[in-house]
Amino acid sequence: MTNKILCSLFWVIIAGCAYSKSKDIPEFRLPPPQPSATDDIAPSYFSNCKTLSDVNTKLTSALDKCGYVRKSFFYVPNGFALVTQLEKINEDGSVKPEGERWRLDNYRGEFSLKNYFRNLFNANPGFYRCIVFVITDSYYKYSENLATQGQAREWLISGVNKLPPEIGQIKTSPNYSYNVLIYQFKKNENDSATNIIIPSPITGRTHLIKSKIYEQLK
């Protein structure tokens, strides 16, 4: 019994130390909500990256070139999650013109978080997408919870604007995975609700190709 207690205490201490390195960054909780689609970026895309900072530099450079200039960062065990701004997309996964892609439709009133989320539910009919990149060497599964469009927007607000150096300095290894979680939503005409689509009618790989992220990662 004593050995079991000591073993449990050891892992609690280890877990606490790992998280203390990232005390200034909020946590992207695992298991995450069920995604609409997923993909795994091949490690070969990051073969020249020695640290997580290198991985982030390559990933954010590709995202910037594809128009994803607003992003949020979160802590995950031994890694980080990067969340893109919710965007309006075409049904086939391709991006909308710039003026329509990022605009929060029908926005009314002085800016505040209350107005921001109130107007979220007045968005025009169509398809919306949020992309989450999870870079970690840990295993995880998906929860039974369903993400909401409001939650996707809250991710952008609640994360930090750049990767903290204590996470960036972590060295990569063959155990790392570069997972992509696609959260796709649809609002129908005359419908006040915006619902997640599970599963997405197109694959996660198609989402990344249509957004041109894969093209910029090469």
Q: Are 89 and 37 in contact (CB under 8 A)?
A: no
Region 20-24: what's the mean pLDDT? 55
Residue 166 burial by Cβ neighbours in a 10 Å radius (0-12, 13-18, 19+) = middle
pLDDT confidence of residue 21: 45
pLDDT confidence of residue 4: 45
* Selected residue with higher pLDDT from 66 and 19: 66
* Selected residue with higher pLDDT from 85 and 106: 85
pLDDT confidence of residue 125: 86
Distance of alpha carbon 7 from alpha carbon 171, whole angstroms = 26
pLDDT tier, 128 (very low <50, low <70, confident <90, very high otherwise)? very high
Tens of pLDDT, residue by residue over 32-73, are 999 999 999 999 999 999 999 999 999 999 999 999 999 999
Tens of pLDDT, residue by residue over 172-201, are 999 999 999 999 999 987 777 789 999 999
Reduce the DSSP state of residue 64 to 3 states and report it. helix
pLDDT confidence of residue 117: 53
Distance of alpha carbon 20 from alpha carbon 14, whole angstroms = 10
pLDDT tier, 10 (very low <50, low <70, confident <90, very high otherwise)? very low
Q: Are 176 and 43 in contact (CB under 8 A)?
A: yes
pLDDT confidence of residue 95: 97
Distance of alpha carbon 142 from alpha carbon 51, whole angstroms = 26
Q: Are 127 and 186 in contact (CB under 8 A)?
A: yes
Distance of alpha carbon 195 from alpha carbon 185, whole angstroms = 5
Half-sphere exposure of 101 (CA within 13 A, CB side): 15
Q: What is the mean pLDDT of the chain?
A: 86
Q: Confirm whether pTM is higher than 0.75.
A: yes
Q: Are 134 and 15 in contact (CB under 8 A)?
A: no
